[in-house]
A and B are shown apart, each in its own frame.
Chain A
Amino acid sequence: MTTTVEPPAGPGAAISGKGIIEAFKRSAVEFIVSVPDRVTSETVLRGVASDATLKLVRVCKEDEGVSICAALSFCDKRALLLMQNTGLLDSINALRGIAVEYQLPVVMMVGLLAHESAAPPAQSKSYGARIVTPILDAMGIAHEYLHSAGDEQRIAPAIERAYANSTPLVLLVGRSPI
């Protein structure tokens, strides 16, 4: 089943990078697997890299991360794959085979490159951002759109659901966190 909860439109304050990292920890996420994403680079990935309580696994390509997160779930270790939408699009076959068909809790946070708008991703002016949620819907992958201050609160419950149901999850970040 696919769920999308859109935030209220409007500029407002951006989501907090520190709040995102705290949500990872509240969710018992231990490993962050990443190829750098321009949207979350400064406030999330740098924060993760300097946080001794999180284990950062740097990979060359995002589909590697799909497999690493899936394998960690067998070891009862929670992980999150941090990447941008280009990496998500490049990883579709790994997601199809390992996350969806094998029903594994692969949790991803995906920066929407060139979106930077209050509009829902499907209405983005950027083609690369606009096609993401229709593709996820077609694949049956749950997604949440995180855009404004306070949206950090939706991260931990979504991750809990992904692990409880053993299903993949994509957390979309619409603009650079502060």
Chain B
Amino acid sequence: MLKIDNLQAEIGGTRILNGLSLEVNAGEVHAIMGPNGAGKSTLAYVLGGRPGYEVTGGSVEFLGRDLLEMEPHERAAAGLFLGFQYPVEIPGVSNVQFLREALNAQRQVRGEEPLSGGDFLKLAKEKAGLLKLDMDMLKRHVNVGFSGGEKKRAEMVQMGILDPQFAVLDETDSGLDIDALRVVGEGINAIMRAPEKGVLLITHYQRLLDYVKPDYVHILSKGRIVKTGGPELAQQLEREGYEAVAA
């Protein structure tokens, strides 16, 4: 469902991705691990279409469409979800308003009817419950005053509400304590573990993978995938470090 071929990208003239290739099929969870500066977040932003991240070569096909030709909001409507490493605060805009407008904007692009206020609240309540996030948090402004862990759980509530076909999760595990890590891991499984869905998990550490078992683990180094394996690769990394394994 996601096919990245020889992707090259740069930021402000500095090349970050150096011919990255990767294919994720429906029903699969892939983990991308790598040291700081390997290009993990750049990959996430390029897939999401963030301004300033310039693709200089290669291609990305998503559900049979040219992802790189699409605007960021069109990518979302097509079923791509980008979980942010640092979720953004939006003062003055409540989560409920933000997510309802976002969901209905996506539904409109897909030719679906908008969800009523009541139906939306029901859906939001269900997904918040899944992530053990108090519904009152969703009435507050987007991420404003949320702790690091609350922001990450709120990201997953957003994912649950928007129900994407594919999720790119950029260090969703960072900033989480052990209990929150388990809740978030179980949330990812509940929302995204399905035969027609796919996940790209970007992480530094093996610990999230205890809860969300990847089918494949890739090591990213200097802007390209240098090694691919099964879940055991993540464990080997944890024991031996990037330098030994990726060399």
Q: Tell whether A pairs with B.
A: no
Give the A-binding residues of B (Cβ under 8 A).
none
Give the B-binding residues of A (Cβ under 8 A).
none
